[in-house]
Amino acid sequence: MKSILKPLMIASIMLLLAGGQAVQSQGIQTLISGNVRHGGFGGPVVKFGSIDEELAVWVGGRGGWIIKIDNAHSISLGGGGYGLVTDHLMPIQQNLSSNTELASIGYGGIEVEYAHKPNQVLHWSVSSLIGAGGITIRDKHYETFSTDEASAFFAFEPGFHAVVNMTTYFRIGLGVSYLFTNGIEKGGLSDSDISGPKAQISLRFGSF
């Protein structure tokens, strides 16, 4: 029995070694290759647009995980959320209170961004947000009427940014985007009132 086990053990070891060499010699292709480093960032964002032809200001923030490839490209995967901070009358007054009915709107979702040559002091990037939002009616004190139910909508927002590397851990982004919405039917507001171009400024802190 021992005389049989010994040759089997030797053969098994040889097969394992041969298999290991075959795996090492086999080239495995991946979507991301090269000198890959990882980082992360986060920070506030202010956006300027319009609602029903009035100036609208949105304040929020975003953050993400950065995948940097050969110092020439980077991809960030994360999310962001934004809320309306300016006052806008609902087109149709619902007489829920003696106070004036104002629009309370927020949206957010997953954000993906590609940056070209992010090590340069001035570089550019393109981004895309896909997610959802909601609209409720509030008074001038930012209190939501108890009888009002939120109306949900779909949100998609591609953008283009010029980014300045202020320090190793701090960057400023100036950009333009276009918000597409679907499903807005609230107090006389529609998708055409909310959808539209936006200018934005973002402060980015992190390990780039």
Q: What is the pLDDT of residues 98-110, one digit of tens each?
A: 557 899 999 999 9
The pTM assigned to this predicted structure is 0.81
What is the predicted pLDDT for the residue at 1? 47
Structural domain boundaries in the chain: 35-207
Mean pLDDT, residues 79-103 taken together: 80
Q: Phi/psi class of residue 53: alpha, beta or left (left: φ > 0; alpha: ψ in -120 to 50)?
A: left
The long-range contacts involving 117-122, CB below 8 angstroms and separated by at least 24 positions, are: 117/71, 117/72, 117/73, 118/68, 118/71, 118/73, 118/74, 118/163, 118/165, 118/208, 119/71, 119/165, 120/165, 121/164, 121/165, 122/162, 122/163, 122/164, 122/165
What is the mean pLDDT of the segment spanning 48-75?
94
CB 145 within 8 A of CB 97: yes
Q: Decide if 129 contacts 157 (C-beta within 8 A).
A: yes
- Residue 21: pLDDT band (50, 70, 90) is very low
Residues in contact with 40: Cβ distance below 8 Å, sequence separation at least 6, in sequence order = 63, 64, 65, 66, 206, 207
23 to 13, 49, 175, 192, 197: CA distances (angstroms): 15, 55, 46, 56, 51
The pLDDT assigned to 22 comes to 42
**β-pairing verdict for 73-84 and 196-207:** unpaired
**pLDDT at residue number 5:** 45
> Is the domain covering 35-207 a CATH 3.40.50.450 domain?
no
Q: Please compute the mean of the pLDDT values over residues 60-76 and round it to a whole number.
A: 95
* Structure confidence by residue, pLDDT tens digits, 167-187: 999 999 999 999 999 999 888
Average pLDDT, integer, range 157-173: 98
